[in-house]
Structure 1
Amino acid sequence: MNFTNSPSVNFLFNMLSIWSFLLLLVLFKSTTLVISDKNPGQKWALLVAGSNGWYNYRHQADICHAYQILRKHGIPDSNIVVMMYDDIAYNEENKLSGKIINHPHGVDVYQNDVNVNNFMKILLGKEKEMQHVGSGKVIKSGPDDHIFINFVDHGGRGILCFPEGEMTIGELNKTLTEMHRLKKYGQMLIYIEACESGSMFKNILPNDIKIYATTAANARESSYACYFSEELETYLGDCYSVNWMENSDKVRLLQTTELLWLETVREQYNIVKFETNTSHVSEFGDRSVSEDYLSDFQGEEIFFKFGNSLFLQLLQQQPQNRRPPNVHLDAVSSRDVPLEILKRKVSKNGYDSDAARQNLHSLLLKRKYVDEFINQMVVEISKHFHLNHHAMLTKRVADDGMDFDCHTKLVHHFSRNCFSFSKNTYALKYAYVLTNLCNTGIPVDEILIRMEKSCKTAKKYSNIV
């Protein structure tokens, strides 16, 4: 009789493995409690999906997944603030109504209704100003606390978008500096998924204020979407985001000791940088923070609470079922996502392929219109100020020495009067032009006057993705 394949023997072997592993965990945990006592503060998180619309499905899916990771690892809901438009779970195009997934074989990661709030007020803990706004929650952190910020959306040179409006490099770094001045944190970890996201920190984020940031892309390239779903006809995730989250998801009780309190932020960065071969994952700020354990920001495994039913569920699960199977990433530049979705619909030659073909043709026309409009605007401004318009359109000035005040004014003026960056995300590819104009030394008010004259003409198209 072959006892090696006997169910009873396998059960006994599994139980011995479990309890042996748990004994090691308890012994290790008892030695690390002294380390934990050195960090008496709380853990806080701000998770932001700055877009809306079905073609941006992946952004909200990323944030819902991040929320589930933090909750699974023990961070209370009261310490997690989620900002997202919340228009995809019950979207008419969602064939899995009420569900949001972040992997082709993933579980539902949708969790409760949340509203878009004021990013900076939440970070600064302005509770009174946020009363009756969305969830009303803010980050009420102090000098011993750890804060984790995860922002996922569209971006451009020195810009991160929200469903309504945008945040500039100057506004973000001013907020972080103010938090440091007010002693609102002990250490902070920031993950940003957006095109040209490195431009938000390069040569700007100080290396001595206990803030460490990693970005999906450097200052001059696109980030990439991944996991196209044939069923939902949209991308489920972003390469950088799914790589860090699937790393944080690795809680395999019998197979490995790869847990959040055994892995440092630096180790996760190196893993994500290696796995994300579509763009250059970058790091900025205080590198000493990267030597902290992930658990300091993303929480510890909840299965240490032995009475919790989740612990029993983990014991009952088969190891191979705890991690999504490997699939092809289907990676595509984030700025090409709307085009790629339509191209895939056209290639099906099905019921809606004709409509998709018309929509694709229309989108290409709209993008060409933006190209021509911005080119003409730059020509007119350059002619007035005797600038080289070709240089304005092709060169990118150094990332340091930027005039934040000029940049913020030009970005918001362009977005209000020319093309809203949040509604016309294709225009973000030209955000560097605004930086170039600021670096000419021409007074910002004079540039604004010329820009307004160029932009006040009626737009042929709007809402260009």
Structure 2
Amino acid sequence: MEFESAIYFSNTSFVCTSRFWFNYRHVANTLSMYRTVKRLGIPDSNIILMLADDVSCNPRNKYPATVYNNANRLLDLYGDNVEVDYRGYEVTVENFIRMLTGRVSPDTPRSKRLLSDDRSNILVYMTGHGGDEFLKFQDAEEISAYDLADSFKQMSEKKRYNEILFMIDTCQANTMYSKINSTNILATGSSKLDESSYSHHTDYDIGVAVIDSFTYYNLEFLEKVDQTSDKTLQELFDTYDPVKIASHPGIRSDLFNRPLDKVKVTDFFGNVQNVELTKSRYPLLQDDSVDEEPIFFAPNNTLPAKDHLFRSFLVEKSSKSSTLFGVLSALLIGYVISATVI
């Protein structure tokens, strides 16, 4: 049987590499993107969320058990079915690389595995504090641009993706994708070499910035997208304004095989059902393979008994009749013998 086309699966990995209260905005960045892909149909089973998770219940949080990405506090990002897969000190460079490459221990639960293959479109979003070709993990270690490139290379060799969109919001973000050399990878970052990335605004009631500019303006576009949208990544990238973002976002597409104006936003940010079309009718039943159900008749050979319950009734009735006949025969024989003796 010949298949005409196949539609790819979407998987996402969201990594907040910061911790501590004053990095509130990085948590909000990550949860904002997480909420967006869930709204567009990607289930938690296809999402890996790595988060320090030390902000919502921090003693300094004036609004306990909440995380907001705007000073108007209209949307609680933390209050609606957030599933954190790697929490606290589980957010390490080693765990991140193992998750991407699939080199995890056998006892690693399903929720901590990126279950992708060569049909998977993967969105990798990272945010935190970085510099020239590095990104810090919880102020304790760093992942380099070489580490990231090597991880993507392993994924390519192991056929763990169809296409990857890598998005990073940090200082000097564009340097993090400079060493990638694997095919079918599209990358975008918030700032160029020697340039900082900035927060968008502060909520003075809690005393910290609540979101970064690059993520804020990406969300401004993504909030207008639904699952049936035809908006493309080219349209998203065309909205990048260095004046509003206060830095120079970068886009790297030389490794990507499709023109950006043909790539739908939902190819990475949304869930596309796996549909396969065939050119021929699938033979569910063949005319000559359908056997007629045998017809059973009642003992007088006049009443058809196709019903299974009726068949059972006939068998039970026949069995009871045979038993009754046997009892009567035994009684009759006993009566004859006793009469003869007398």
TM-score normalised by L of structure 1: 0.52
Root mean square deviation, CA, Å: 2.3
> Contact 1:215 / 1:283 at 8 angstroms: preserved in 2?
yes
Paired with 1:301 and 1:181, the residues of 2 have a C-alpha distance of 25
Paired with 2:207 and 2:251, the residues of 1 have a C-alpha distance of 33
| Paired amino acid for 2:190 | A
Name the SS for the 1:43 alignment partner.
Answer: strand
Q: Which runs of 5+ in 2 are unaligned?
A: 274-342
Distance 1:301 1:226, change over 3 A: farther
1:62 is matched with: 29
How far the C-alpha of 1:112 sits from its partner, in A, is 3.9
Deviations 1:407-428 (A, max 9, x none): xxxxxxxxxxxxxxxxxxxxxx
1:191 is matched with: 167
2:62 is matched with: 95
| Paired amino acid for 2:248 | H
Name the SS for the 2:251 alignment partner.
Answer: strand
Aligned pairs (5 A) from 1:165-244: 165-202=141-178, 204-206=179-181, 209-244=183-218
Name the SS for the 2:239 alignment partner.
Answer: helix
Aligned pairs (5 A) from 1:291-306: 291-299=262-270
> Contact 2:20 / 2:55 at 8 angstroms: preserved in 1?
yes
> Contact 2:56 / 2:67 at 8 angstroms: preserved in 1?
yes
Q: Is it true that 1:264 corresponds to 2:232 in the alignment?
A: yes
How far the C-alpha of 1:41 sits from its partner, in A, is 2.5
Greater helix proportion:
1
Aligned pairs (5 A) from 1:345-384: none
Q: 1:148 aligns with which of 123, 137, 158?
A: 123
- Using the TM superposition, name which of 217-226 and 82-91 deviates more: 217-226
How far the C-alpha of 1:225 sits from its partner, in A, is 0.9
Q: 1:159 aligns with which of 134, 153, 156?
A: 134
Aligned pairs (5 A) from 1:94-133: 94-105=61-72, 106-110=74-78, 111-114=82-85, 115=87, 116-117=90-91, 118-128=95-105, 131=108
Q: Is it true that 1:248 corresponds to 2:225 in the alignment?
A: no
Paired with 2:43 and 2:207, the residues of 1 have a C-alpha distance of 34
How far the C-alpha of 1:154 sits from its partner, in A, is 0.5
2:44 is matched with: 77
| Paired amino acid for 1:174 | D
Q: Is it true that 1:49 corresponds to 2:25 in the alignment?
A: no
How far the C-alpha of 1:73 sits from its partner, in A, is 0.7
| Paired amino acid for 2:269 | Q
Q: Size of the alignment, in residue pairs?
A: 256
Q: 1:282 aligns with which of 232, 244, 250?
A: 250
> Contact 1:78 / 1:137 at 8 angstroms: preserved in 2?
no
Name the SS for the 2:200 alignment partner.
Answer: strand
Paired with 1:113 and 1:40, the residues of 2 have a C-alpha distance of 28
Greater strand proportion:
2
2:287 is matched with: none
1:416 is matched with: none
> Contact 2:199 / 2:212 at 8 angstroms: preserved in 1?
yes
| Paired amino acid for 2:207 | E
Paired with 1:176 and 1:184, the residues of 2 have a C-alpha distance of 9
Name the SS for the 2:112 alignment partner.
Answer: coil
Deviations 1:328-348 (A, max 9, x none): xxxxxxxxxxxxxxxxxxxxx
Distance 1:130 1:122, change over 3 A: farther
> Contact 1:62 / 1:102 at 8 angstroms: preserved in 2?
yes
Q: Which runs of 5+ in 1 are unaligned?
A: 1-36, 252-257, 303-465
> Contact 2:13 / 2:48 at 8 angstroms: preserved in 1?
yes
Name the SS for the 1:272 alignment partner.
Answer: coil
> Contact 1:130 / 1:138 at 8 angstroms: preserved in 2?
no
How far the C-alpha of 1:272 sits from its partner, in A, is 2.7
Paired with 1:149 and 1:225, the residues of 2 have a C-alpha distance of 21
| Paired amino acid for 2:134 | I
| Paired amino acid for 2:7 | P
Paired with 2:248 and 2:228, the residues of 1 have a C-alpha distance of 24
> Contact 1:154 / 1:194 at 8 angstroms: preserved in 2?
yes
Paired with 1:201 and 1:54, the residues of 2 have a C-alpha distance of 28
Deviations 1:160-217 (A, max 9, x none): 1111411011111011111111111111101100101111123x333x6000000000
| Paired amino acid for 1:192 | I
Deviations 1:305-353 (A, max 9, x none): xxxxxxxxxxxxxxxxxxxxxxxxxxxxxxxxxxxxxxxxxxxxxxxxx
Name the SS for the 1:91 alignment partner.
Answer: coil
Paired with 2:52 and 2:164, the residues of 1 have a C-alpha distance of 25
**Larger Rg belongs to:** 2
Q: Is it true that 1:138 corresponds to 2:113 in the alignment?
A: yes
Aligned pairs (5 A) from 1:394-433: none
Paired with 1:69 and 1:179, the residues of 2 have a C-alpha distance of 25
Which structure is richer in relative contact order (CA contacts within 8 A, separation 6 or more)? 2
> Contact 1:61 / 1:101 at 8 angstroms: preserved in 2?
yes
Name the SS for the 1:149 alignment partner.
Answer: strand
| Paired amino acid for 1:139 | L
